[in-house]
C-alpha cells in the first residue's frame, strides 16, 4: 500500500506540470464554442443583409479576437508550465 | 536502436526551451538587452528608412493620375484614418497616425521572423509598452474630452478594475498569439530537420509559414488598432447629465404639445 502511494506521489511530482498543461488546454473548448457561435451569427446576418458585409466583418473580427483571448491565455499557461 | 518518438521528445524539451524565452545578448549589471530588443530596434530603423524613401520618391511625385505605389499608400493611410474617423470623431487626427504606427510596428516586428531573427513582439515588455501607449491615449483623451465629469465614471469601483484590466489583457493577447505562432514554427523547423526526404524540409515550412506568421501578424496588428479605437471611443463618449435632462424633457414636452 505504501509503495503504491509513493508511486502515485512520484508520478504526480514528475508529471504534474504536464497534467496541468493538459488541463489548461481545455480553455480551447469555450473559445471554440464562442467563435463558432459568432461566425454562425455573422453568416446569418450577412445572408439577411448582404450590403452590410463590411461592418459585419469588422465586428466579427473584434469578437473573434475577444473569444480567442481565453484560448491564448490557456496556451500561455501551458507553455509556461512545460518550459519553466 | 533508433526510436523516433524518443528523439522528438528530447528535441522538444531542450532545443525548444532555448527558443521560447529571449536570450540576453548584452548584460551589464541589471541592465540587460535581449535579442527581441535588438530586432525591435532593427524594425524601427527599417521603418524609418522606408518612410524616408517613400517621402522622397512617391510623395514628391504626387499626381492626380495615381501610380501603383501611390494607390497603395492612399489605401493604407485612408483605411486607418477612416476607421479612426468613425470611432473617435474629432481626435481622429491623433488616433489615425497612432494606430497606423502601432500596426506597422507590430506587423513588421512579427514578419522579421522570416529573416531568422527573433520577433520583436515575442517579449512581454514590448507588448506591455504598446499596451501602455494605448492606455495613455485612452485615459488622456477621456479626461480631455469629458474633463472632471469622467471622474463620475469611477464612482462604481468595479470600473477601476475594468480599466486596469485593459492593458493587461492587451499585453497577453498580443504576446500569447505571437509567441504561440513562433513556438509552432520552431517546432516545425525542429521536426522537419529529422525528415531527410528530398525537398520536404523546404516545402513544409514554406506552406506553413504564411498561416502561422503572416496571418498572425496581419490579424493581430488589425485587432490591436481596432481595440485601441474601440476603447478610446468608449472613453470619450459623453454621458447624459440626469438632472438637466429631466428639466429639458419638462420644458420640451409642453412646447412639443403646443407645436402639435
- What confidence score (pLDDT) does residue A43 get? 94
Distance from CA of B206 to the nearest CA of A (A): 24
Closest residue, chain A, to B220 (C-alpha): A65
Look up residue B23 and give its three cell numbers: 536570450
Contact with chain B for residue A68, Cβ under 8 A: yes
Has residue B254 been placed in a domain?
no
Q: For chains A and B, count residue pairs whose Cβ atoms are closer than 8 Å.
A: 42
* Alpha helix stretches (DSSP H) within A25-52: 27-48
Residue of A27, A69, A77 to mutate when probing chain B, most B C-beta within 10 A: A69
A42/B112 Cα distance (integer angstroms): 34
Comparing CB atoms, the residue among A62, A79, A83 nearest residue B226 is A62
The CA–CA distances, whole Å, from B18 to B24, B62, B211 equal 11, 49, 23
Q: Which of B10-24, B60-74, B195-209 has the highest mean pLDDT?
A: B60-74
Percentage of chain B surpassing pLDDT 70? Answer: 85
Q: How far apart are CA B58 and CA B73, in angstroms?
A: 9
Interface contact flag, A61 B227, Cβ < 8 Å: no
Q: Which residues of chain B have a CB within 8 Å of the CB of A65? A: 173, 219, 223, 227
Looking at the structure of chain B, the number of domains it has is 1
Residue B237: closest CA among B170, B160, B130, B153 = B153
Residues of chain B with Cβ-Cβ distance to A61 below 8 Å are: 219, 222-223, 226
Give me the residue label for grid cell 508511486: A7
pLDDT for position B150: 78
Please tell me the predicted confidence (pLDDT) of residue B243: 59
Among B1-10, B97-106, B176-185, the least confident range: B1-10
Domain membership flag for residue B148: yes
Establish if B253 belongs to a structural domain.
no
C-alpha–C-alpha distance, residues B83 and B119, integer Å? 27
To the nearest whole angstrom, how far is the Cα of B146 from the nearest Cα of chain A?
26
The mean-pLDDT minimum among B21-25, B124-128, B255-259 falls in B255-259
Gap between the Cα atoms of A63 and B207, Å rounded: 28
CA–CA dist A25, A71 (Å, integer): 8
Q: Which residues of B touch A62 (CB under 8 A)?
A: 223, 226-227, 230
Question: Quick check: is B257 in a domain?
Answer: no
**Residue bearing the bigger pLDDT, A37 or A8:** A37
* Residue A9 distance to chain B (closest CA, Å): 23
pLDDT at A3: 86
Minimal CA separation from A2 to chain B, in Å = 31
Instruction: Give me the phi and psi of A30, to 5 degrees please.
Output: -60, -45
Structural domains for chain A: 24-83 (1.20.20.10)
Task: Tell me which residue of B255, B33, B246, B15 sits closest to B125, measured CA to CA.
Answer: B33
d(CA B189, CA B257): 76
Sign of CA dihedral B69, B71, B77, B83: negative
Per the structure, the complete domain to which residue B74 belongs is given by: 4-243
Give dist(CA A72, CA B184) in Å, integer: 13
Residue B86 in any domain: the answer is yes
Find the residue in B nearest to A84 (Cα): B17
Q: Write the pLDDT tens digit of every residue in B31-85.
A: 888 888 888 899 999 999 999 998 888 777 777 777 888 888 889 889 888 888 8
In-domain check, residue B9: yes
Which of A10-14, A43-47, B169-173 is predicted with the least confidence, judged by mean pLDDT? A10-14
Q: Does B121 touch chain A (CB under 8 A)?
A: no
Residue labelled with grid coordinates 501607449: B133
Cα radius of gyration rounded to whole Å, chain A: 20
Measured distance CA(B119)–CA(B109) in Å, rounded: 6
Of B20, B223, B227, the CB nearest to A79: B20
How far is residue A15 from each of residues A20, B17, B189, B215, B223, measured CA to CA in Å?
9, 17, 26, 34, 37
- Closest Cβ–Cβ partner in A61, A62, A73 for B176: A73
Contact call for B20 and A68, based on CB within 8 A: no
Helix (H, G, I), strand (E, B) or coil at B24: strand
Q: Output the furthest CA–CA distance in chain A (Å, rounded).
A: 71
Whole-number pLDDT of residue B14: 66
For residue A77, give how far its alpha carbon lies from the nearest alpha carbon of chain B (Å): 9
Asked whether residue B251 is domain-assigned, the answer is: no
Residue by residue, DSSP assigns B129-186 as HHHHHHHHHHHHHHHHHHGGGGGGGGGSTHHHHHHHHHHHHHHHHHHHHHHHHHHHHH
Asked whether residue B72 is domain-assigned, the answer is yes
Amino acid at each position: 500500500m505504501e509503495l503504491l502511494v509513493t508511486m502515485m506521489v512520484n508520478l504526480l511530482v514528475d508529471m504534474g506540470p504536464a497534467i496541468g498543461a493538459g488541463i489548461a488546454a481545455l480553455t480551447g473548448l469555450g473559445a471554440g464554442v464562442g467563435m463558432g457561435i459568432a461566425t454562425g451569427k455573422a453568416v446569418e446576418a450577412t445572408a439577411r443583409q448582404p450590403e452590410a458585409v463590411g461592418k459585419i466583418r469588422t465586428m466579427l473580427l473584434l469578437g473573434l479576437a475577444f473569444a480567442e483571448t481565453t484560448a491564448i491565455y490557456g496556451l500561455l499557461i501551458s507553455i509556461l508550465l512545460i518550459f519553466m | 536502436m533508433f526510436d523516433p518518438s524518443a528523439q522528438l521528445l528530447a528535441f522538444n524539451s531542450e532545443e525548444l526551451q532555448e527558443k521560447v524565452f529571449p536570450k540576453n545578448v548584452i548584460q551589464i549589471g541589471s541592465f540587460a538587452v535581449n535579442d527581441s530588443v535588438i530586432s525591435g530596434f532593427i524594425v524601427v530603423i527599417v521603418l524609418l528608412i522606408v518612410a524616408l524613401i517613400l517621402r522622397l520618391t512617391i510623395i514628391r511625385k504626387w499626381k492626380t493620375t495615381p501610380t501603383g505605389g501611390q494607390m497603395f499608400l492612399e489605401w493604407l493611410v485612408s483605411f486607418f484614418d477612416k476607421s479612426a474617423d468613425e470611432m473617435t470623431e474629432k481626435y481622429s487626427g491623433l488616433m489615425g497616425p497612432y494606430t497606423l504606427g502601432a500596426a506597422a510596428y507590430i506587423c513588421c516586428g512579427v514578419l522579421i521572423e522570416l529573416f531568422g531573427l527573433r520577433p520583436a513582439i515575442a517579449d512581454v515588455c514590448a507588448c506591455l509598452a504598446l499596451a501602455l501607449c494605448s492606455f495613455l491615449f485612452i485615459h488622456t483623451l477621456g479626461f480631455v474630452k469629458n474633463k472632471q465629469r469622467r471622474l463620475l465614471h469611477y464612482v462604481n469601483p468595479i470600473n477601476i478594475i475594468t480599466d486596469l484590466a485593459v492593458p493587461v489583457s492587451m499585453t497577453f493577447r498580443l504576446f500569447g498569439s505571437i509567441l504561440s505562432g513562433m513556438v509552432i514554427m520552431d517546432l516545425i523547423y525542429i521536426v522537419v530537420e529529422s525528415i531527410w526526404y528530398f525537398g520536404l524540409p523546404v516545402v513544409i515550412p514554406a506552406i506553413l509559414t504564411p498561416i502561422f506568421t503572416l496571418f498572425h501578424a496581419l490579424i493581430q496588428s488589425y485587432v490591436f488598432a481596432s481595440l485601441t479605437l474601440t476603447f478610446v471611443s468608449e472613453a470619450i463618449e459623453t454621458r447624459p447629465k440626469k438632472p438637466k435632462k429631466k428639466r429639458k424633457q419638462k420644458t420640451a414636452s409642453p412646447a412639443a404639445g403646443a407645436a402639435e
